[in-house]
A and B are shown apart, each in its own frame.
Chain A
Amino acid sequence: MRKIIALILISTAMHLVMAAHAVDRTSSVPIAIVIGSGQNVKDLKLTPKNLNLIFWRKQRYWPEGLPIKPVNLNAEHPLRMLFSASVLGSTPQDQTDYWNEQYFNGVLPPYSVDSEEAVIRYVSKTRGAIGYIDACKQDKRIKAALWIVNHRIYKRRPQFSCK
């Protein structure tokens, strides 16, 4: 009996350690806020504050008048969870009531895709699009406009390493 209890306790402890490690690993992923390579970062006047408004669909136009087309990863994606916690201050699941209210007023939530490659394709081929990916996966098709590292938003590229 004692052995069974000991096994359960060890198993539980291992699960907790693994879960903590997974959360920690995700939260340390550097995020790049990306726009199409044809757009000029300075023209967009993007700041941490209006990044929040863009993904709540409170700011819907770029300064020159082009509609902003934000793109999200799906609600279960670890990077979406991290982005939501860092920029919007809540989980995607907690945002259901808000998006229902917006739907009633004709405002749809950001377009949602399943992979970071899909974000890159959407952003690179859609005028006015903005999305986010793992900063280490950035390529020539897109530009980084802001970075998020350890829940802090940077206007200049901070130090981080890509393995």
Chain B
Amino acid sequence: MRKMIILIASLASLLALCKPVMADEETSWKDGFNVGGYASAGFTLERNEDARAALNEISLLTTWNGDSRWSFFSEIELENPLSWDDEEHFQSESARVDLERFYFDYNFSEKVNLRVGRFLTPNSRWNLLHAAPLVWTSTRPSVTSRLFPTGTNGIMVFGALPVWNSAFEYKVFSEVLDDQDVEDQELEFNHVYGARFSLKNQSDIGLSFLSYREEGLNAENYQLLGLDFVTHIKQVEVSGEAFQRLSTKNKDGGSGAYLQTAVPLSFIGLHQWHWITRLETLQRPNEGAYERWLLGAAWRVRPRHLLKFEFTGGSGTQPDSPRGFLTSYALFF
């Protein structure tokens, strides 16, 4: 199955590279393909662990827009293709191919669109924009990956409406097919459905609701309420998300939040540099409290390239949330 997907993506890439679209020529369905992607590589010096360098990911983005109301999008990710550490030196055993997104859209009108396939669960700003060149830090707030399913196989109705000088967007979705590929440390979720409403202006604000069942140690039905925002105060980007999870049996369902600032350093002559700070917290049933602080810097080397440095510390443990020093370089191609 994976080989077939890679083969289809490769063919699509070749077709897209064949000929650029010319305005004065008749276009064919092949001209609607566009292929790009992003990649990141980094170095981690984790507390009480060996130093590690890795090519973290290579993601291939394929889009197709023809002369109809149908469009297609896919993201195939090669995770951890190559890593190095003091003991094992170079290795690629943890490499895996992941189908992050694969969906077809049909546009009834700008107010009503239908999406069918695998998509990112739209209940968190970070989850929707998690690509390494888009986020200021190498690490991801655990609350955006350990409290709800990050991907959903199903259907979604979505649209945008102009409201004053901003856009009101909605997304209503439901899972149709269970996740087919669950990793070792990955949490398993089923029966997912929910909605997200957001207002995009100088400040973006999103409100989301999600219902699902978590399997495993905390097997339970949950309802999740989420709030996220990003705004600029005198060029300082301030963003945050907060989630409260409720168990249907009135047990503690867990909660978490993060608050992040990105301060431009142009006032000390460092153009395209930002000073990053973040505080985050997460509390999951039976796992105790988890807290992290982060201090770092990010340099927008080019509009589509980002170099990041960060120190993290705090208490508690969660997968993919190291404490120590991290640096990484991410780019869109």
Contacts and interface: CB of A to CB of B under 8 A. Distances in A.
Interface of A: 49-50, 52-53, 56, 58-61, 63, 65-67, 89, 96-97, 100-101, 103-108, 121-122, 125-127, 129
A50 B163 CA distance: 11
Given A58-B110, A100-B134, A106-B61, A53 B167 contact: yes
B162 A49 contact: yes
Contacts of B110: 50, 53, 58-61
A104 B131 contact: yes
B332 A103 contact: yes
Interface size class of B (residues with CB under 8 A): 20 to 34
Given A60-B107, A122-B23, A96 B303 contact: yes
A107 B107 CA distance: 14
Interface of B: 23-24, 34, 36, 38, 61, 63, 65-69, 71, 73, 107, 109-110, 128-129, 131, 133-134, 160, 162, 165, 167, 303-304, 332
11 contacts: A50-B162, A60-B107, A61-B107, A100-B134, A100-B304, A101-B134, A105-B73, A122-B23, A125-B23, A126-B23, A127-B67
A108 B69 CA distance: 16
Contacts of B109: 61, 63
Contacts of A60: 65, 107, 110
Contacts of B332: 100, 103-104
B61 A58 contact: no
B303 A89 contact: no
A11 B110 CA distance: 53
A75 B63 CA distance: 24
Contacts of B34: 108
Closest 4 interchain pairs by CB? A106-B73, A106-B63, A125-B24, A49-B162
B73 A100 contact: no
Nearest to A101: B129
A60 B69 CA distance: 9
Contacts of B63: 106-108
A49 B163 CA distance: 9
A103 to B, nearest CB: 6
A97 B235 CA distance: 13
A59 B73 contact: no
A60 B67 CA distance: 11
Contacts of A104: 38, 61, 129, 131, 134, 332
A104 B127 CA distance: 12
A71 to B, nearest CB: 9
Contacts of A126: 23-24
B277 to A, nearest CB: 19
B162 A61 contact: no
